[in-house]
Amino acid sequence: MTMEVSRKTASRRDYAAPLVGLGTLIAFLAIVETLIRVGLLNRFIIPPPSEIIGSFGRLFLEENIVHRFFFTAGECLVAGVMVAVSGIAIGVVMQRFSLLQRACETWVAAFASAPLVLTYPLFMVIFGRNAWTIIMMGFLSALPPVILKTIEGISGTRKVLINVGRSFKLTATQQFWKILFPAALPTIFVGIRLGLIFALINIVGTEFLINFGGLGQLINDLAERYDLAGTYAAICFVILVSVLFFMTLEKAERWLRPVD
Amino acid sequence: MTQAVAPADAILVADDIIVRFDTAEGPITAVDNISFKVRPGEFLSIIGPSGCGKSTLFNVLGGLLENYQGTVNVAGETIAGPHKSIGMVFQEESTFPWRTVTDNVAFPLELVGMPKSKRIDRARHFIKLVGLDGFDNRYPGELSGGMRQRVSLARTLASEPKILLMDEPFAALDEQTRLLLGDKVLQIQQELKQTTLLITHNITEAVQMSDRILVMTYRPGKVKRIFDIDLPRPRTSEIVGSETFGRYVAQIWNDLREEANRGMLDEEKYALEHERAL
């Protein structure tokens, strides 16, 4: 009986935070709707939330948003694979050669905070107005966090684990694959998660700037048509995709390291 | 106090081990002319105050330290670097958090290329031996500190070393767990007739388990005395209450007290000098 009561209390506690979050969002939207309706906010700058919600159906039926979503997701996937392979490899090499690490780590960190999206004209010249320019923008912006977190993860491997490997006479390759890499994996995954978020932002941003591809181009098109409700609905869709993306990555991380 | 071990009978011979380190305060000798021999199947404990070079000696014997003078000979072979005959259990928690208990224990078997089904069976044998059956598929994060140390012990035993070398494996555990784990180690050691070297600063633990105890001096670490522990086997932690046990503890503490005092005074002196320098 007591256990049942405590289970019910726990489950109520589990739902409390998402419900409060949802309630806050609904209250916020209701306030914005009211302010627009009474004329305190200009409806030609911010469309009423009810109109934005109403535009979602149109995005699916008329604007082909599902196809655009898969286009952007494909670009993210290619950039993600490229960044995971090369970011980890560069991080490993930099960690292995301390001179290289000391020489370049600051540069990589500086790159992480630089507005790399501004380099898109360069990639337009190299690749033209196509998906590769967008993928390269995503790849470039995602690279620094993966490199930095790979270095941090491998350097942070506990000495005793390395000594266990030495006591079992592991070769350098075995030491890397059986101890250093799995020990560093949670930290590397933080880098990949950050990197992929940066990649998504930059991919959608570049699609918007060069008016090509998936969701970014859709936002650009709707804005140019002055379809404000549609533009805001598309932006909301991108935010929802980001949230979903983040949650999937979190789940993948937990799957890779079930118990720490 | 002790009978000399003839080299032909010895499975491990440490001869004139000297370890020096360069520090900011100048070179220090951590281990000075340490020589001893271990018989097959023997349980030898090395005891000394903090800072006497016990862990340095552990690293030398395990082949993890390269810059030292003297030789370590295992089963007639002079070692240079880690040796397959020596299995090490470390003071710090050393299980692999990304592997289950079974996969942790099967680790050395995986390295020698044993087929998966065979190595899982073998790992289960050692998991049972350390009393962790039923926890095979748990991750270290789901286990207590004592259980994790048992996983480390099982992993080392799975490599079937000729000599089990342990560096204060129970140092981070509470007294009750320590005594019970001591029982477990004794039981395993007696069952496998496993030659064991235990580095410790705990006199009770050393007397409970050992055939001989080597007492080290405070810095530089030298052999002060080697005690034969003539207590009946098989032993359990119940022996802690016996009169003979108490006598051994008192004798060893008499030898160790002087060294521990030197260590404490040295640390105080260092702290004062450091304070003045600031």
Per DSSP, the residues of A123-180 read HHHHH-SSHHHHHHHHHHHHHHHHHHHHHHHHHTS-HHHHHHHHHTT--HHHIIIIII
Of A161, A163, A167, the CB nearest to B96: A161
Contact check, Cβ <8 Å, B96/A168: no
Of B64, B87, B142, the CB nearest to A259: B142
Contact check, Cβ <8 Å, A182/B98: yes
B93 contacts in chain A (CB < 8 Å): 160
Contact check, Cβ <8 Å, B87/A258: no
pLDDT beneath 50: ranges in chain A: none
Give the residue from chain B lying closest to A179, CA to CA: B96
Contact check, Cβ <8 Å, B92/A158: yes
Helix axis angle, A215-224 relative to A181-210, nearest 10°?
Answer: 30
User: Does residue B169 belong to the interface with chain A, where contact is any CB pair within 8 Å?
Assistant: no
Is B250 exposed, middle or buried, given 0-12, 13-18 or 19+ CB atoms closer than 10 A? exposed
Q: Which residues contact B202 (CB under 8 A, 6 or more apart)?
A: B47, B168, B170, B171, B178
What predicted TM-score, i.e. pTM, was given to this entire model?
0.83
pLDDT at B272: 80
Contact check, Cβ <8 Å, B90/A163: yes
* B98/chain A closest Cα distance in angstroms: 6
Of A161, A166, A178, the CB nearest to B82: A166
Query: Is the confidence at residue B274, as pLDDT, over 80?
Result: no
Contact check, Cβ <8 Å, B111/A170: yes
Distance of CA B157 to the CA centre of its chain: 14
What span, in angstroms and rounded, lies between the C-alpha atoms of A179 and A183?
A: 6
Q: Provide the terminal-to-terminal Cα distance of chain B, rounded to the nearest Å.
A: 47
Is B115 exposed, middle or buried, given 0-12, 13-18 or 19+ CB atoms closer than 10 A? exposed
Q: Which residues contact B181 (CB under 8 A, 6 or more apart)?
A: B146, B149, B150, B169, B170, B173
Contact check, Cβ <8 Å, B96/A179: yes
Chosen for mutation from A158, A167, A169 (greatest number of chain B CBs closer than 10 Å) is A167
Confidence tier at B5 by pLDDT (50, 70, 90): low
Query: Is the confidence at residue B89, as pLDDT, over 90?
Result: yes
**Do the Cβ atoms of B111 and A174 come closer than 8 Å?**
yes
User: Around Cβ B161, how many Cβ atoms within 10 Å?
Assistant: 21
Strand order in the sheet with B12-23: B26-38, B12-23, B69-74, B77-78
Render pLDDT for A167-179 as a digit per residue (tens, 0 to 9). Answer: 999 999 999 999 9
B98 contacts in chain A (CB < 8 Å): 182-183, 185, 257
Of A164, A167, A258, the CB nearest to B139: A258
Contact check, Cβ <8 Å, A182/B96: yes
User: Does residue B118 belong to the interface with chain A, where contact is any CB pair within 8 Å?
Assistant: no
Please tell me whether residue B211 adopts helix, strand or coil conformation.
coil
Query: Is the confidence at residue B162, as pLDDT, over 60?
Result: yes
- B6 or B168, greater pLDDT: B168
B residues 9-68 near A, CB within 8 Å?
62-64
Residue indicated by tokens 């292995």? A96
User: Does residue A188 belong to the interface with chain B, where contact is any CB pair within 8 Å?
Assistant: no
Which tokens go with A121? 């004209």
pLDDT at A257: 67
pLDDT at A82: 96
Helix axis angle, A228-256 relative to A181-210, nearest 10°?
Answer: 170
Q: What is the mean pLDDT of residues B74-84?
A: 90
Cα angle, residue B175 at apex, residues B174 and B177 outer, rounded to 5°: 70
Closest CA to B151 of B236, B94, B113: B94
Give the residue from chain B lying closest to A254, CA to CA: B98
A257 contacts in chain B (CB < 8 Å): 97-98
Q: Which residues contact B4 (CB under 8 A, 6 or more apart)?
A: none
Cα angle, residue B227 at apex, residues B221 and B232 outer, rounded to 5°: 140
Rama region for B26: left / alpha / beta (φ>0; ψ in -120 to 50; rest): left
pLDDT at B127: 94
A99-113, B66-80, B102-116, B166-180, range with the lowest pLDDT: B166-180
Q: Which residues contact B264 (CB under 8 A, 6 or more apart)?
A: none
Query: Is the confidence at residue B45, as pLDDT, over 90?
Result: yes
User: Does residue A160 belong to the interface with chain B, where contact is any CB pair within 8 Å?
Assistant: yes
User: Around Cβ A83, how many Cβ atoms within 10 Å?
Assistant: 26
| H-helix or E-strand spanning residue A195 | helix A181-210
Q: What percent of chain B has pLDDT over 70?
A: 97
User: Does residue B92 belong to the interface with chain A, where contact is any CB pair within 8 Å?
Assistant: yes
Render pLDDT for B251-268 as a digit per residue (tens, 0 to 9). Answer: 999 999 988 888 888 878
Query: Is the confidence at residue B270, as pLDDT, over 90?
Result: no
Please tell me whether residue B216 adopts helix, strand or coil conformation.
strand
Contact check, Cβ <8 Å, B82/A183: no
Burial B209-227 (b: 16+ CB within 10 A, else e): bbbbbbbbbbbbbbbbebb
A166 contacts in chain B (CB < 8 Å): 63-64, 82
A175 contacts in chain B (CB < 8 Å): none
Q: Please state the ipTM of this predicted complex.
A: 0.90
Torsion, Cα B169 B171 B177 B181, to 10 degrees, reads: 20
- B6 or B74, greater pLDDT: B74
* A117/chain B closest Cα distance in angstroms: 37
Chosen for mutation from B64, B85, B91, B96 (greatest number of chain A CBs closer than 10 Å) is B96
User: Around Cβ A31, how many Cβ atoms within 10 Å?
Assistant: 12
